[in-house]
Amino acid sequence: MPKNAATIYEVARHAGVSIATVSRVNRGDGAVAAPTRERVVRSIRLLDYRPHPSARSLAARRHDARGIVFPDLSGPYYSAVIHGFEDQAVEARQSVLILATHGRAAADDLVLELATRCDGLVIMGRTVSDAVVGRLSRQGFPVVLLARPQVNGADTVRSENRATAAVVVGHLFGHGRMDLVFVGDPKSSPDAAERWVGFEDAWRDLRGTSPPPPLVSSFTETDGYNSISLMLERQAPPEALVCANDEIAIGAIRALRDNDIDVPGRVAVTGWDDIPVASIVSPALTTVRQPMRELGAMAAALLEERITEARTRPRHVLLPTSLVIRTSCGCTPSGGESS
């Protein structure tokens, strides 16, 4: 606070009221009579009084901070989601506390401790147990789940996965590529699980059989490369790889090329997310665009509603995704099939 700034005590003396009354007027408390409120507001303006943020937070029993819990902080997907969340929080003049749970055994305890230092939490994926989410919700603590199914009374923000994964499979089948392999780990996240289910649905609808099991890979370029390299040591490549994210897909393309396998001539490859590099790798990556930044922004907006409006009825938001056709699937840039 500037050295010569007016204090709440000076405002109270000037208006002839208690500091509690000044505080109630600042909070918009309706318990103050209209003439008294007008007198206090006039004194605030004349003295140019500005409540100190920490004092205001203390009076309202708030931290003026929002927490967000991620499984990991590396990679363009997480970066975009966090930027969207931060944009909204900064606009609301809130601090942001970020917790990454990757490799931490006591994630549940860490999240419960974080909840004591902020006014609400966005929790992404399977970072903590349903029991912790339920416990926080029952206590009335604002919680928004990001890329995770509903739990108790918490809000949810998700991207559509299942139907668009089926669109990807149908697109590859339309090229005559019937031998497909899903690359990813359905057990690693709700998003990956839904993409695998969409893959299964389309395979069964179009071929009448069950697909081969997923080729397990974490969401990294290195693991994508290693998973495909090991597969090629054991068997001939399939006609197409449906990868659970773009980083896996980029690693897969490198592994195929290192084994002198043409992409997309011999093997088509698709990704998911549409990260910035997807359009500039060679071949340009056919992928599913999901609104990564909007996911974070919507989660922040729902959390703000929960905190400032005391909304108790949960909201569930599903954001659309779309197939972006480039050349790694065998299409030409204009959308036709390459030779």
Q: What is the pTM of this model?
A: 0.78
- 280's tokens: 């500039």
Domain edges within the chain: 8-59, 65-158+292-319, 162-290
What CA–CA distance (Å, rounded) separates 9 from 287?
Answer: 61
Write the Ramachandran bin of 338: left for phi over 0, alpha for psi from -120 to 50, otherwise beta: beta
CATH level 3 topology of 162-290: Rossmann fold (3.40.50)
- Which fold is adopted by the domain 8-59? 434 Repressor (Amino-terminal Domain) (1.10.260)
The Cα 247–Cα 225 span in angstroms is 9
Query: What phi-psi label fits residue 208: left (phi over 0), alpha (psi between -120 and 50 degrees) or beta?
Result: left
Radius of gyration of the chain (CA): 26
> Percentage helix, strand, coil, to 5, in the chain?
45, 15, 40
Same fold, 65-158+292-319 and 162-290: yes
Q: Which strands make up the sheet holding 240-243, listed edge to edge?
A: 180-183, 240-243, 268-270
CB contact at 8 A, 316 and 331: no
- The gap from C-alpha 174 to its chain's centroid, in whole angstroms, comes to 32
Buried residues in 255-290 as b, exposed as e (16+ CB within 10 A)? bbeeeebebbeebbbbbbbbbeebeebebbbbbbbb
pLDDT at 5: 66
Residue 230, CA distances (Å) to 100, 199, 225, 235, 255 in order = 30, 22, 9, 9, 9
Best CA proximity match to 122, nearest among 109, 133, 113, 131: 133
With CA atoms as reference, report the closest residue to 90 among 304, 280, 310: 304
The pLDDT, as a whole number, for residue 291 is: 96
Domain 65-158+292-319: assigned CATH number: 3.40.50.2300
Helices (H), the chain: 8-15, 19-27, 34-47, 53-59, 76-91, 107-115, 130-138, 162-174, 190-207, 221-234, 246-258, 292-308
> 165 in helix, strand or coil?
helix
- Taking phi over 0 as left and psi of -120 to 50 as alpha, with beta for the rest, 320 belongs to beta
- As given in the structure block, the two tokens for residue 84 are 């969207």
pLDDT of residue 91: 82
pLDDT tens digits for range 78-129: 899 999 999 988 887 888 999 988 766 788 999 999 999 999 999 999 899 9
Look at residue 229 and give its three-state secondary structure: helix
Question: How would you write the pLDDT of the chain (339 residues) with one tens digit per residue?
Answer: 444 567 877 888 999 988 778 877 876 766 688 889 899 899 988 988 876 554 444 444 567 889 999 887 778 998 999 999 999 888 878 889 999 887 667 889 999 999 999 999 999 998 999 999 999 988 889 999 999 999 988 999 999 999 999 999 999 999 999 999 999 999 999 999 999 999 999 999 999 999 999 999 999 999 999 999 999 999 999 999 999 999 999 999 999 999 999 999 999 999 999 999 999 999 999 999 999 999 999 999 999 988 888 778 899 999 999 999 999 999 976 555 443
Cβ neighbors of 288 (< 8 A, separation 6 or more) are 164, 165, 168, 270, 271, 272, 273, 274, 321, 322, 323, 324
